[in-house]
Structure 1
Amino acid sequence: MESKAPPPHDLTLAAARFAALGSEQRLHVLRILVRAGPAGLAIGTLGGRSGITGSTLTHHVKLLVAAGLVQQQRQGRSIICAAVAHGAVHDLSRFLLTECCADSDVPCPDHTHD
């Protein structure tokens, strides 16, 4: 069975997102925001929950925003961070699993194709 390579844009986007998730601190921040739901958290609350504050938190959030995994919005004096990752993380999983076992004679027991 011949495998069809994903388009280069998909590879670039997936690589950028995986790179953003390649830090324990950024992954921790994203998990906190996913748990918070669509309303997100004020940056101060996010810092308190994550144990990451100041310029370090700003740096990590900036990278997550650039990867399209988090969005920021000003509400009055607060900056609210929210995960937009639900679809993006699902897309990353699909990116990895779409061709699961495509070159194998034995079907993958843990994955069914959509």
Structure 2
Amino acid sequence: MDIDSTAKALKELGHPTRLAIFQRLVKSGLNGLPVGVIQEELSIPGSTLSHHISSLVSAKLIKQRRESRTLYCVVEYDRLKQVISFLQDECCTEGIVKG
């Protein structure tokens, strides 16, 4: 994962509302949640929620799927793992400076 796409993901997660949405979706697991449930549980107006979901989709942190008339949001767990790995991969690679 490159630095630009990681920065975009972290930027989108840097907004409190988007982070709350993402956190709730992570808790929901692989099935995700209907948009209406997210809206109700987090008390976010529909147009505002749509804007935030669009930002998370754009950063490839979540995807959406439609089942009949219900739109679900699901975390892209591989992408989440890539972001975490980007931050962890070089941990302590230069050793500890003694002084």
Structure 1 equivalent of residue 33 of structure 2? 41
Q: Which of these two proteins has the greater Rg computed from alpha carbons?
A: 1
Q: Which residue of structure 1 lines up, in the alignment, with residue 2 of structure 2?
A: 10
Match of 1:31 in 2: 23
Could you say which residue in structure 2 is the equivalent of 1:98? 89
CA drift of 1:89 comes to: 2.0
Task: List structure 1 segments (4+ residues) > 6 angstroms apart after TM superposition.
Answer: none
Which runs of 5 or more residues in structure 2 are unaligned?
Answer: none
Q: Which secondary structure does the structure 1 equivalent of 2:91 belong to?
A: coil
When normalised by structure 1's length, the TM-score is 0.78
The answer for the alignment partner of 1:88 in structure 2 is: 79
CA RMSD of superposed structures (Å) = 1.4
How far the C-alpha of 1:35 sits from its partner, in A, is 0.8
C-alpha separation in 1, matches of 2:81 and 2:61: 11
CA distance in 1, matches of 2:53, 2:42: 12
1:47-76 deviations in whole A, cap 9, x for unaligned? 111221211000000000011111111211
Given the alignment, which residue of 46, 59, 67 partners 2:59?
Answer: 67
Separation (CA, whole Å) in 1 of partners of 2:49 and 2:10: 18
